[in-house]
Amino acid sequence: MSLAQRWLKAAYGSSPWLAPLYPLGSLYRYLMVRREASYHNEHKDGGQKDSGKRGGGKNKVWQAPVPVIVVGNITLGGTGKSPLVAWLARWLVSQGWSPGIVTRGYGGKAEHYPLLVTSETQPSHSGDEPLMLAQQTGLPVVADPQRARGGKALVEMGCDILLSDDGLQHLALGRDIELVVVDGERGLGNGRCLPAGPLRESPSRLERVDAVIVNGKLAHPLPIRTIPMQLAARRWRRLRDGQYRTLAPLPFSLPVHAVAGIGNPERFFNTLYSLGVTGDMHPLEDHQRFNADALEFGDQRPVVMTAKDAVKCQAIAPPDSWVLEVEAELPLQFEHWLAAKLSALSERGCTNG
């Protein structure tokens, strides 16, 4: 187990060895409050946006001429943001919208930004999650460390609504709806900010977002209303040729080698167990950089991985490699709520129409 994995385990538990870092956590929390207050948000008509989500500071916020939905979290480690973004993208298309996705492109380095990500983009340029979203949705995806610049590019392409993946703390991009995803099993960990705990912001930030979505069963109660979300396994995909197979019977022999370079590998492994998949589970670093040696285990067992890892392993994975495709599931009440929110934005002139 790496130092980063040990730290995450401690931050989501009750380990006392983080106690010396508590003062630093308090300082980080204070600095994040000051940072948020330094951004100045404006209405599209030039007036102050009365959302309670920004201060009146010196840093300007670009407010897009179209609605912006931010999906993020306040904790480190995987919570299920990208599956929610993919669900939102599909739902918006079904409602007649033309969405675009803007993301930082963590783990990638392009020669220029904004970078339009297609299914053929190299993951070393885009990062793994942007490429995965482009492949899953078929929609315009732009990677750019400057989210506002990436958002402008999507608007110029004709997108009439923007989805910002992991954009809660990127305050230069204005937003109309904020959705925060919380891992149901791990919750907010020890409740402390970095580096004393897993929080990027104070827990009170949850009181000011539009909706808190809990991925999986809620093991640690939150003092606010939440919306349930489940990640449901849909099918297997053979990485070599992209052929799909049903979940059962398993299209490969057991035991397997399962690899997961995501924020919470155990969630993936538990899903595999629930499907009857057994073998050796290999937790890797989030956004793991793969080479052929990383997938060589000295035997002929099948290799099973996540969709996020698969975009980096297409050319190097063994022939008998399989991807588990999962999709988010949300209650009908959430769809009704979101439709009402977007309708209200349209009535206030937040769309191009």
Residue 12 falls inside a structural domain? no
pLDDT per residue as tens digits for the range 244-268:
999 999 999 999 999 998 888 999 9
Average pLDDT, the chain: 91
Q: Do 201 and 278 reside in the same domain of the chain?
A: no
pLDDT at residue 51, as a whole number: 40
Closest to 290 measured CA to CA, from 265, 319, 270, 262: 262
Q: How far apart are CA 84 and CA 71, in angstroms?
A: 8
Q: Do 255 and 278 reside in the same domain of the chain?
A: yes
Residue 54 falls inside a structural domain? no
Residue 57 falls inside a structural domain? no
Residue 56 falls inside a structural domain? no
Hey, is 48 helix, strand or coil?
strand
Residue 55 falls inside a structural domain? no
What residue numbers bound the domain in which 169 lies? 64-229+330-347
Q: Do 172 and 250 reside in the same domain of the chain?
A: no
Q: Are strands 141-143 and 99-103 parallel, antiparallel or unpaired?
A: parallel
Q: Do 318 and 337 reside in the same domain of the chain?
A: no
Hey, is 269 helix, strand or coil?
helix
pLDDT at residue 41, as a whole number: 57
Tokens matching residue 181:
């995803």
Residue 41 falls inside a structural domain? no
Residue 113: pLDDT above 80? yes
Residue 32 falls inside a structural domain? no
Q: Do 252 and 336 reside in the same domain of the chain?
A: no
Q: How far apart are CA 158 and CA 185, in angstroms?
A: 39
Q: How many domains does the chain have?
A: 2
pLDDT per residue as tens digits for the range 201-215:
999 999 999 999 999
pLDDT at residue 161, as a whole number: 98
pLDDT per residue as tens digits for the range 162-187:
999 999 999 999 999 999 999 999 99
Q: Do 152 and 70 reside in the same domain of the chain?
A: yes
pLDDT per residue as tens digits for the range 330-350:
999 999 999 999 999 988 765
DSSP per-residue letters across 4-39: HHHHHHHHTTT-GGGGGGHHHHHHHHHHHHHHHHTE
pLDDT at residue 286, as a whole number: 79
Q: How far apart are CA 342 and CA 31, in angstroms?
A: 33
**Phi, psi (rounded to 5 degrees) for 153:** -60, -40
Q: Do 187 and 336 reside in the same domain of the chain?
A: yes
CATH number of domain containing 97: 3.40.50.300
Q: Pick the residue with more confidence: 64 or 58?
A: 64
| Radius of gyration, alpha carbons of the chain | 20
Q: Do 143 and 185 reside in the same domain of the chain?
A: yes
Q: How far apart are CA 305 and CA 297, in angstroms?
A: 14
Residue 7 falls inside a structural domain? no
Q: Do 304 and 334 reside in the same domain of the chain?
A: no
**Residue spans of beta strands (DSSP E) within the chain:** 39-40, 59-60, 68-72, 99-103, 115-117, 141-143, 161-165, 177-183, 211-215, 227-238, 244-245, 256-260, 279-283, 303-306, 321-329
Q: How far apart are CA 14 and CA 301, in angstroms?
A: 37
CB 98 within 8 A of CB 156: no
Q: Do 84 and 198 reside in the same domain of the chain?
A: yes
Residue 68: pLDDT above 50? yes
CB 303 within 8 A of CB 259: yes
Tokens matching residue 88:
């939102």
Residue 50: pLDDT above 90? no
**Phi, psi (rounded to 5 degrees) for 5:** -70, -35
pLDDT at residue 77, as a whole number: 78
| Residue position matching structure tokens 């998949």 | 277
Q: Do 189 and 209 reside in the same domain of the chain?
A: yes
Q: Do 158 and 305 reside in the same domain of the chain?
A: no
pLDDT at residue 314, as a whole number: 87
What angle do the packed helices 128-137 and 81-94 form, to 10 degrees?
A: 30
pLDDT at residue 305, as a whole number: 97
Hey, is 163 helix, strand or coil?
strand
pLDDT at residue 220, as a whole number: 86
Tokens matching residue 297:
């285990």
pLDDT at residue 62, as a whole number: 95
